[in-house]
Every structure is written in C-alpha cells, then in structure tokens.
C-alpha cells in the first residue's frame, strides 16, 4: 500500500561537535512506517552540514535567528510554506522554541502542525526555575541559585560548597573549584548567553539521560534511558547505550504525569553514590542521540509527527536494552556553488 507523503520542516542541521538533533530526527522520519516524507531543512548558518546532505534533506531554506523577532520568522515561514506546503515543523533548538510556541496558533491556521510544550511548561522547566519546579512536582533536583550580578558571587560560599556548577540560562556549564573560577565562568558564560547565571550544587555521580514523548494529557508515549559511554570535551555524548533503570523510567513517567508535558524532551539525570536520582535539566526538545531510540524500537519523531497531525498514537511499551550508538564524523565534498546558493539566496 502506498504511504501518504508528509512535508516536514526540521531545524538543527548542525551535525557538528556539539550536534543539533536535526539529522537524527530526519533519519528517524525517513524510517517512519506510517508515512513517507519530503524533508525541508531550516538552517541558521551556511555551514550547517545537513544543508549539504542531499540524501537526507530534500531542500533547505535559511531562517532568521530568534533575535530577529517573531514577525521576521513568520514572514520567512510564510514564504517557505508558499513554496513547499508544509505539513509539520519540528524545531530542535531550545533558543528557537519560544518564537515557535508563540507562532503555533498562526501556523496551525496556515495548515502547519507542531507538537510543542505549552509556554507555561516551557517557562516552568527553565534552569532558573528548577528549584521551584522540583518543589512543585516533588522531583529531586539539585539546589540552585540564580545570580544577576557578579557581586552576588561572594555570598555563595555560605550557601554552596566547592565544587559548584556555573550554568548559562540556555547552554554551557562549568565546574568551579574556587571563587576565582566562579567569577571567570560567570563572565565567560554571561558574555555568550547573557544573564542570569545559575549556580548549582555539584552532585557527584553518574550522568544518565532519558528521551521520550508526552501526549500533553499526562501519558507517556515513549521513554528510553541512556548512559553516555563516550563524552566529548563539550560534555556531549559521542557514544551511549540503552539501559533499563526502572527508577529513571518512574521519574520520567512522574514528570509527564504531573506536568502533562506535551512534546519531545530529554531529561538530564544524575545518580549519586547512594543511588539517589536527581533531575539536573529538562530539555524541551528531542536530543541529538534520538536515533538510538529508533534503533531500540521507539521511533519517537514518527510518533511526534502523528500527534502533531492530531492522530492517536499507542504508547510504546518496550525497547531493546544494551543497544549502543557510536557517533562519527565524516567529511563531505561540497561544490562552492552550493555554498554560494545557500549563503546568498538562502535556499538550496
């Protein structure tokens, strides 16, 4: 039987050393059992590798950075939609989610579907709100403090012991072993991502991640826990293995049940030496390692598209444990004309 063909736009084509999830999401969509796809890449930079991966991405359009404003983004999406007649958009960056959430109703009216967390869910799980989030939903989180001013750094010693984590509001985290290091990371991270900075209690232990999908009604549609086996200098997983920790799955189900999370997500968890589990971060989108979930039997991007299209999705109930992913880098040979095309015309 011939499958229907969906036109799906995907961001996060930056398959670099700190990779965006786009390419993994696209691989998952191309393996979807219930539909075929035409993939439209949405890029921010001309050297995002996905732009040139023509076997995965059918056509790419550049889009403006979120700082350009929602109206500029909408105008660009209207142009792309006119050309491509999009069915679904899957945004894959934390920083772009706010404008896409704001545009969800307008895009829906144009016939473009998304399946994103609500603005309330998106804001509530922000790093700056993690303490309150933990209290409200009775989820174990590390103690943290938001600082807006470098002078606040000196009072930290009475509240936190060293080492402590210095985090940016969107990205970046460093372990500081002295006040001098806290100050240095404060300056470095705030220069890149702005204020505030979050100081977090350091939990000694092993880091795990869970990716999954919530239906927005409290149900767990998918959940796959993973342990990073090979971590890059930027803290990204270059290799990992699926595991079967019931406690992590329980925490995930509780997170989805209590918040009624809508959309894909990645939980960053830490287990200390006493076996206590902490939720360090909630990333409101699918992770770059999402293809492992497909490899163990849960095609989460496919399920997300179906939910976006308003279709019923049966929750996944099992996955293969002990399956690994090993990432690799690959040099593509690209004609300069292609680079010119995307750089000057914003389309390829």
Partner 1 sequence: MKLRKNVAVSEAGLLFNPVTGESYSVNPIGVEIINLLREEKSPEDISKFILGKFATDKATFEKDYHDFIGILEHHNLLDSHEETKA
Residue 178 or 229 with smaller CB distance to partner 1:
229
Closest distance of CB 17 from partner 1, Å: 23
Closest distance of CB 66 from partner 1, Å: 35
Contact residues for 50 (Cβ-Cβ < 8 A; gap 6+): 12, 13, 14, 15, 22, 23, 26, 41, 43, 56, 57, 60
Closest distance of CB 137 from partner 1, Å: 24
Residue 229 or 258 with smaller CB distance to partner 1:
229
With beta carbons less than 8 A apart as the criterion, state whether 11 and 91 touch. yes
Closest distance of CB 231 from partner 1, Å: 13
Q: What is the DSSP letter of 228?
A: E
Applying CB under 8 A, the residues found at the interface with partner 1 are: 206, 208, 226-227, 229, 240-245, 321-322
Closest distance of CB 230 from partner 1, Å: 12
Q: What is the DSSP letter of 333?
A: P
Closest distance of CB 204 from partner 1, Å: 15
Q: Establish how many alpha carbons lie within 13 A of residue 280's alpha carbon, considering only the half-sphere containing its beta carbon.
A: 22
Instruction: Provide the 3-class DSSP secondary structure of residue 187.
Output: helix
Q: Which helix (H) or strand (E) holds 302?
A: helix 300-308
Closest distance of CB 252 from partner 1, Å: 15
Residue 246 or 337 with smaller CB distance to partner 1:
246
And the tokens for 129? 């709100």
**First-residue to last-residue Cα distance in the chain:** 32
Contact residues for 108 (Cβ-Cβ < 8 A; gap 6+): 114
Residue 97 or 203 with smaller CB distance to partner 1:
203
Going 55 to 58 to 62 to 65, the CA torsion angle's sign is negative
Residue 145 or 227 with smaller CB distance to partner 1:
227
With beta carbons less than 8 A apart as the criterion, state whether 185 and 166 touch. yes
Residue 30 or 236 with smaller CB distance to partner 1:
236
Q: What one-character-per-residue DSSP string does 267-287 give?
A: EEEEE-TT--EEEEEEESS--
Residue 86 or 251 with smaller CB distance to partner 1:
251
And the tokens for 157? 């010693």
Closest distance of CB 247 from partner 1, Å: 9
User: What is the maximum alpha-carbon separation in the chain?
Assistant: 67
Residue 16 or 324 with smaller CB distance to partner 1:
324
């Amino acid at each position: 039987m011939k499958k229907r063909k969906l036109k799906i736009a995907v961001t996060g084509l930056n398959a670099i050393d700190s990779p965006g999830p786009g390419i993994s999401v696209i691989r998952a969509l191309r393996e979807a059992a219930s539909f075929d796809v035409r993939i439209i890449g949405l890029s921010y930079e001309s050297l995002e590798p996905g732009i040139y991966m023509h076997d995965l991405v059918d056509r790419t359009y550049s889009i403006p950075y979120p700082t350009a404003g929602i109206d500029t983004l909408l105008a660009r999406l209207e142009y792309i939609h006119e050309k491509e007649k999009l069915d679904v958009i899957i945004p894959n960056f934390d920083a772009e989610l706010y404008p896409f959430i704001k545009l969800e109703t307008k895009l829906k009216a144009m016939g473009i579907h998304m399946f994103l967390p609500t603005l309330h869910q998106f804001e509530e799980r922000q790093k700056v709100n993690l303490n309150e989030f933990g209290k409200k939903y009775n989820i174990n989180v590390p103690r943290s403090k938001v600082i807006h001013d470098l002078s606040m750094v000196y009072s930290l010693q009475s509240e936190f012991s060293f080492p402590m984590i210095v985090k940016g509001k969107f990205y970046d985290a460093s372990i500081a072993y002295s006040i001098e290091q806290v100050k240095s990371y404060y300056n470095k991270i705030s220069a890149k991502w702005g204020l505030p900075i979050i100081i977090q209690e350091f939990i000694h232990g092993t880091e795990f991640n869970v990716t999954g999908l919530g239906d927005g009604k409290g149900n767990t549609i998918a959940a796959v826990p993973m342990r990073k086996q090979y971590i890059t200098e930027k803290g990204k997983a270059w290799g990992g293995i699926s595991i079967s920790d019931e406690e992590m799955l329980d925490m995930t189900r509780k997170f989805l049940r209590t918040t009624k999370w809508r959309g894909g997500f990645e939980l960053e968890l830490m287990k200390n030496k006493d076996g206590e589990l902490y939720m360090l971060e909630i990333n409101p989108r699918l992770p770059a390692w999402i293809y492992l979930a497909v490899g163990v039997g849960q095609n989460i991007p496919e399920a997300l598209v179906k939910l976006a299209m308003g279709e019923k999705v049966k929750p996944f109930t099992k996955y293969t444990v002990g399956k690994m992913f090993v990432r690799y880098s690959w040099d593509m040979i690209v004609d300069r004309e292609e680079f010119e095309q995307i750089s000057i015309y914003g389309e390829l």
